[in-house]
Amino acid sequence: MRFRVFVLTVAALALTACVYRIDIQQGNLLDDEDIAQVDLGMTRSQVQFLLGTPMVSDSFHRDRWDYAYYYRRGRSPDLLRRWVVVYFENDRVARIERDLELQPAG
């Protein structure tokens, strides 16, 4: 009887070390096909239809929309980062910056 209790206790303790890590997905899902469809001269509504609502729409820079996407799979230390910035002039796309090199915070 004591052996069963001991085995069950050890098994329970061993299983508590097996923590499931969920995949973390944040931001706008940025597909290469959708990004490639954004062209100069498109309106804001066309860009929003393709890429969705911008992650950052700064009130001080109304002509800049930032789209960010971060994905980390479970226990993997690798982080997939995508960043697209769309600049507007007269409510039309004037410039697009794709996959900017991000600097680590701190």
Burial (Cβ within 10 Å: 0-12, 13-18, ≥19) of residue 47: buried
In this structure, are residues 26 and 65 in contact, taking their beta carbons and an 8 Å threshold?
no
| Helix/strand/coil for 59 | coil
Domain 22-98 has CATH 3.20.20: no
59-96: per-residue pLDDT in tens?
888 899 999 888 888 878 888 888 899 999 999 999 99
Per-residue pLDDT band at 105 (split at 50, 70, 90): very low
**Residue ranges covered by each domain of the chain:** 22-98
- Average pLDDT of the chain to the nearest whole number: 84
Within 8 A by CB and 6+ apart from 82, the residues are 27, 30, 67, 68, 69, 99
pLDDT band at 101 (very low <50, low <70, confident <90, very high): low
